[in-house]
Structure 1
Amino acid sequence: MKANPNVAVRALSAADVDIVQEMVLEFGAYLISLGDTWQHNFTAEKYLEDGFGPHPAFRGFIAERNGQALGYILLSPNYDVDRGMRIEVIIDLWVRPAIRRSGAGRALMAAAAASAAANGAQSLLWAVYRPNRLAFDFYQAIGGRLVADLDWMYLDLPGLEQRG
């Protein structure tokens, strides 16, 4: 995956809280326009606490050109027991609509892939909101493959013990 040299990518920091929040809200509005029931739960406080507190749950990168934020990516380490390997999960990838096809998305994915490999991961995994065809097409263009046999599920906690 070749990154665009006109796009600078650097690690996110706590100081990026405001610009990340701005882009998170843009991403949320975009998802809502596709029919998602997105709610703004990834607040500035959650960004700082969960990304830069004593036990960070994620890390990420920001793409910039001439000091302007183009997009961001968040990822987290994980493990694939079936394949017996470390993986990293892409939690969020957003590129601002006005600069799509500028190489920012590829640059962010390249940074995530390099970082994941440096941490011993052998694969990246992510979910795509089905109506988001732009994202699906982008991921397919960079070599992403659909995991046809799996549907992701979740269970809010506490949860299981309340269902008997």
Structure 2
Amino acid sequence: MLLVALISLLVGLTTPILSVEASKELPLLGETVFQFKSKGILSTIGALWQNGNLWLTLLLFLFSVVLPLLKTLLVTITLWNSEHHLIRRGLHFSHQIGKWSMADVFVVAILVAYFANSGQDLTEAEVQVGLVYFAAYVVLSLLGTQLVVRQLAATKLG
């Protein structure tokens, strides 16, 4: 399950999560697209970095890339060696930070709701496949962590 979660994370980070189109129906020209953007998490991090938004870049990189990878690594290490007290602390830490991964999904949902309901018929936002994969990572990762915790508890009792 953790391998599928990791693959979902990598796909979710590299594919578009949101597309926004600004268009309007113009006389004689019909539907005219003024701007179209489709961004993924990593491309957004790169754009923020290039525009000098270092604080936001670091936050997005930390919560969307570093913490999910760290969490998956800690849970995987726990599967191989669960006896050391630091490993168990790492598992507890990864369980706590796993809850923050869903924040990215909620932020994109809020953006979609905002652009879809802007009231001006100029913008349209759509969720892209990257968000689905990122959300799948979050769910699979949380389930995988729970299974590892239960396995450790059963081993400790047995």
Query: Is the shorter-chain TM-score for this pair beyond 0.5, marking a shared fold?
Result: no
Scaled by the length of structure 2, the TM-score of the pair is 0.26
Instruction: Point out the structure with the larger helix share.
Output: 2
> Which has the bigger relative contact order, CA under 8 A and spacing at least 6?
2
Scaled by the length of structure 1, the TM-score of the pair is 0.25
Instruction: Point out the structure with the larger strand share.
Output: 1
**Rg larger for:** 2
